[in-house]
Structure formats: structure tokens, C-alpha cells
Chains A and B, each alone.
Chain A
Amino acid sequence: MGSLQLKSVRKSFGTVDVIKGIDLDVKDGEFVIFVGPSGCGKSTLLRIIAGLEDATSGSITIDGAEVVTVPPAKRGIAMVFQSYALYPHLSVKDNMGLGLKQAGTPKDEIEKRVSKASAMLSLEKYLARRPAELSGGQRQRVAIGRAIVREPKLFLFDEPLSNLDAALRVNTRLEIARLHRELKATMIYVTHDQVEAMTLADKIVVLDAGVIQQVGSPMELYNRPANLFVAGFIGSPAMNFIDAGRLGVTDAKTIGVRPEHLSLSRDNGEWQGKVVHVEHLGADTIIYLESEKVGLITVRLFGEHHYAVDDVVFATSAAGQTHRFDANGRAIR
């Protein structure tokens, strides 16, 4: 249980088309992540799945049942919001139990589920507190707990970690990954953060301007991006794009090389360039080169390297690691 199908889902606000025909198949137990630039319609799509927003057209099926006319509470979903959205006047326990109470679940069953969820999230100590008396990380765990107790077919997360600081974000990320393993539930997760997307997802859906650009496993997207947008969006630092004409390649419009697939040498190599900036990240060194032949390119070297600004160096791309794109931006395979 817990599969989801979207068929040509569209949404417009007035005359503005925000979602332009989405087809998507999510299998039971999958962890699916929506990524895309700000304003591309990720949250809107999630709210349509939740039933908080009506789709202009299209069909949504959860577990084989059409849910377009079903209210949010009856869809068997639970949602975790970026802003936590806890009920300020209720204790942690009542926050988690409210949904069940509304559904008429017996008291002892509510009690059981709340204590199970709070044990999972180590919230036992805080059950009597109000949200105002919790830290940001604890609040987000309560919000996740509120979703868990409903034992939904489908978990929906809208950027649940973006209000947390970096360290807490990593912890909560691990916690969500663990929850997914333990609950074996279907999860749909919206994020801006590539690392979250790459580390958590079974399947990533890359959206741009209300259209799916590519669907695939993290490694598929990384190794075989379908178009320029996905190639540039996945991976950090972003892929270098080089005009094919400058390299004398005739059967493609653009050549893409990831920064980590370039090597540097002081003596010889494919493209000569001058160092314009160096970033030391400890584990990596990022070097920006201005090359006469191919323009500004980024090189990512593993470990510590000492290049100075204005050094003249040669960059060479690893064999078989270049991507070719045609005039429409589609990958040539």
C-alpha cells in the first residue's frame, strides 16, 4: 500500500500556468524527492497531492483509488511543513494526537501510537510541553511525529529541514532516512538541497517551470542527465558547459564536463588556462580557470593543492566522462 499515480496534472492560478502536465508513478515504499529552482511549482504539486489545492485538470490516484474529490484528511496522507505548523495552544502530545482524535480513534490506541512515535523520535521528555517551549529541532521532530502517528500511506515533506541549522539538518536527515527504513512507507519530499536529494532519494524528480525534466535514481541523474537543465542542476559545483564549436566538435552543440572529471597539470594538457580563484574546502580544492579556448571553467581536485592566482595550468578531461548536448539542450547518447 502507498503507491501514487499522477496523470497529466495541471494547475493554473488565474492565467498563470504553474504546473504544466505532470505524469508520475511512485511505487509503494519509494522515497521520491522533488527538486528544482525556487518557484518551479514543487510545493504546489505537493499541495495538490495532499488535496490542499485543487488541480485544474488531471487525475491523482493513491493506492489505485482516484482521490481528486477526497478531502485531505481522508486521503491517507500526512504532511510535514517547513514552518512546522504546530498548534500553539496544544501540548506536544495533543499536537500529535489531534488527527487521530478527529478521526474517532479510541483513546488507548492514540496513547499507544503517540508513545511509540515519541520513542522513535526521543520526544518522551517533552510530551507535556507547548511548542513555544521547544527548540527548532524539537519542533520539527514533533511535526514529524504528528505525521507518523497517523500511519499514513503517503508521507509528504515540504522542505522540512530548511529552517534548521547545518548540524541539526544532518542529524534530522539521518533520522528521516532511518524512519523510511523502519516504516517502509512511501515518502515524497521537496527540497532545494542537492545533498538531501542525493542522499535520501530512491528516485529524484527534477522540475523546472512546472514541467518534469527528468526522473531517475540519484546516480542516473548524475551520470546520464537527460538535458542541459538537469546536468547543470545536479552536482556541485555545477557542470562546465563548453561551446562545442570552440572544441571543433561538429555533432553536438554543447559539451559538458563535471569539475571533478577534470585534472590539472602545470606542464601539459588539453586546455591551457590561468587560475583566477582558488577555494580550499579541506577535502577538496576548487579552482576556477580562465581559458582562452573554452572560457571560464571550474575544476574540483580531491585533497589539498597549492595553486596561486595567475598560475598558468593545463586542464584535461577524463576519458568517457564528457556529456554531449544537441541544439535543443537534449543529451546525445
Chain B
Amino acid sequence: MSKARTSLTRTSLVHLALISYAIISVFPVFLTIINSMKDRNAIFRNPMQLPSPKTFDLVGYYTVLGQGDFANYFQNSFIVTVASIALVLLFGAMAAFALSEYRFRGNTLMGLYLAIGIMIPIRLGTVAILQGMVATGLVNTLTALVLVYTAQGIPLAVFILSEFMRTVSDDLKNAGRIDGLSEYSIFFRLVLPLVRPAMATVAVFTMIPIWNDLWFPLILAPSEATKTVTLGSQIFIGQFVTNWNAVLAALSLAIFPVLVLYLVFSRQLIRGITSGAVK
């Protein structure tokens, strides 16, 4: 590679940009975590300081965990997020396969219709959604949240996955057809494994807004039994107007489950099983 030397400066510049961006992004998280472990005075007097033996205090965590239902909030968030991702991936991938694989009347129109879903925020329909949920008796259930988040995630999933599915070789699918695989087997056994990295990307993009959402839990499922972590932490702010220890501790705790999910998906992102399938 004769370009090695010129690209060294370029690589370092790129890395410099990426590192500064990473620092900027991670800094608030870092600040939240260190302050969650300090006592109240230290938070206000010296927010930038790391916890020292003198200021170290886990009172925030005690408050949060002692507050009763926090474990339940976590469970709710987890169920809603995982169920929504699963549904978004399943239905998104199926729709994407249909749109990219089959020529039928209205194919392009259907694609455009779904693309509009990316551009129009689902919150515009909140009132209608709430009326619907009331009519079907789904208010204050996790099902309501899962349904809304699935609807919210599908357009982007279809958009990304159909692009990727177009790149799966026709010959491979045709070979499957000649070998007697049904269209479902072709989809599940040949196409899905090949678009796994794209599925992981979609999962990550879908997961973050769902986990962090405050709007729909507040409107559709604010009952104690169905509260999500984000909603639970917000209620803390109301109850302990100035109890920042509890709020910071709750937020710090809320980071970890989503981090675990992210790690699970990003391993899929990196795995490349497609090499060698088709030249």
C-alpha cells in the first residue's frame, strides 16, 4: 500500500474528530454517574469533582431502591422495549422482504406510504391513539405501549431492511426455490441471516427512543403497575423537588440495561457471516 503514509495524517485527523465527539457525548453520562455517588452538598458545590472518601455517599441509590417499585419499573421498561424490538424486527423484515422481492401492483406506493411514517412523528396522533386505547380498554397496560412503539419503529425498519434485502443475491433465493424451500424458509433461513447486521442496526435505532420515551408512558400507562423507568424517575423529581441524589441515581441505573442490550446487538453488527456466499 503506497498510500499508507499520506493516510496516516488522515487517519489521525479522523480519529481526533471521533474521539472529541465521543468525549462530548459521554461527558453528561459521566457527570451523571459521578454525581449520583456524592452527597448533596458536594453535588452543588463541586459538580465536576470525582467522589472522594469525604463526599462519597450512596444515599441516592438507597432512596431509589428503597422506594419500593423501582425493580418493577425496570421490568416494565425491559418488557416493553424487548417486545417492541422483536415485533418491529419481525414485521419490518417481512414487509421489507415483500417490498424488495415481489413485483406487485402498488409496490412503490406502499414503500412511499411507509416512508411517510418516518417523516411524520407518531405523537401527532396522540389524541386518536389515546381514544383508541380507551375504546379497546388498553389504557394502563404494557400492551398499549408495545403496540404504539411497534407502529413507531416499523417505517424506519422497513426502509433500512428493504435496502439491505435488495442486495441479497437473487441467485441465492432462486437456488433455494429450486431446492424446494418455501418462500417462508427462504425468508427465515436464507435472507434473514444475511441481513443480520442490518437487523442489529435497526434494533439499536429502535431501542433507544423507546427506552427513553416519557410521552407515551405518561399518557397511556401512568399507573403504578405499568410505569417505565423514565416515567418512574420523573415522578421522583416531583416528589423530592430538590433530591438530586435520587434522580441521578435513577438515571444512572437506567443506563445499564440499555447498555447490555446494545452490547448484545452490536456483536451481531460486527459478525460477518455473508463472506463467501456469493462472489
CA distance A131 to B178 in the complex (A): 19
When distances are taken between beta carbons in the complex, the residues of chain B under 8 Å from A87 are: 172, 175-176, 190, 277
Decide if B180 touches A88 in the complex (CB within 8 Å): no
Given contacts A82-B171, A85-B169, A88-B273, whether A77 and B178 have CB atoms under 8 Å apart is yes
Q: How far is the CA of A50 from the CA of B180 in the complex (A)?
A: 12
Q: B53 in the interface, Cβ–Cβ < 8 Å?
A: no
- Name B174-210 residues within 8 Å CB distance of A: 174-181, 190, 193-194
Given A84-B279, A86-B277, A132-B277, A102:B180 Cβ within 8 A: yes
Q: With A and B bound together, what is the CA distance between A79 and B173 in angstroms?
A: 12
Closest residue on chain A to residue B275 by CB atoms? A132
In the complex, A308 has a CB within 8 A of chain B:
no
Determine the residue in chain A with the shortest Cβ distance to B172: A85
A36 to chain B, nearest CB (A): 20
Contact indicator A88/B175 (Cβ below 8 Å): no
CB-nearest residue of chain A to B182:
A102
A37-56 residues at the B interface, CB under 8 angstroms: 47, 50, 52
Report the bound CA distance from A82 to B181 in whole Å. Answer: 20
Contact B277 A136 (CB under 8 A): no
**Contact status B279-A88, CB under 8 Å:** no
Q: Does A29 contact B (CB under 8 A)?
A: no
Contact across chains for A83 and B171 when beta carbons are under 8 A apart: yes
Residue A107 CB within 8 A of the other chain: no
Asked, given contacts A89-B193, A89-B273, whether A83 binds B181 with beta carbons under 8 Å apart, the answer is no
Rounded to whole angstroms, the CA-CA distance of A71 and B273 in the bound complex is 30
* Contact of B171 with A81 in the complex, beta carbons under 8 Å: yes
Q: Is the CB of B178 within 8 A of A83?
A: no
Question: What's the nearest-Cβ distance from chain B to residue A132, in Å?
Answer: 3
Residues of B within 8 A of A136 (CB): 279
Q: Does the CB pair B179–A88 fall under 8 Å?
A: no
Chain B, interface residues (CB within 8 Å), range: 20 to 34
A40 to B275 CA separation, bound complex (whole angstroms): 31
Instruction: Given A132-B276, A133-B276, decide whether A85 and B180 contact each other with a Cβ distance below 8 A.
Output: no
Q: Are A99 and B180 in touch, CB under 8 angstroms?
A: yes
A128 at the binding interface (Cβ < 8 Å): no
Q: How far is A134 from B171 in the complex, measured between Cα atoms in Å?
A: 19
Q: Any chain B CB within 8 A of the CB of A8?
A: no
Provide the bound-state CA to CA distance between A71 and B172, in Å: 17
Q: Which residue in chain B gives the minimum CB-CB distance to A136?
A: B279
Cβ of B46 within 8 Å of any chain A Cβ, yes or no, is no
Q: With A and B bound together, what is the CA distance between A49 and B194 in angstroms?
A: 28
Contacts of A150 in B (CB 8 A): 179
**Docked-complex contact B180 and A73, CB < 8 angstroms:** yes
The answer to whether B278 touches A85, judged by C-beta atoms less than 8 angstroms apart, is yes
Q: Is B274 an interface residue (CB 8 A)?
A: yes
Indicate with 1 or 0, residue by residue over A141-155, a CB within 8 angstroms of chain B CB atoms: 000001000100000
A117 at the interface (CB under 8 A from B): no
B190 to chain A, nearest CB (A): 7
- Separation of A86 and B173 alpha carbons in the complex (Å): 10
Seed contacts A85-B278, A146-B175; 7 additional CB < 8 Å A-B pairs: A72-B177, A73-B179, A74-B180, A87-B175, A88-B194, A88-B276, A103-B180
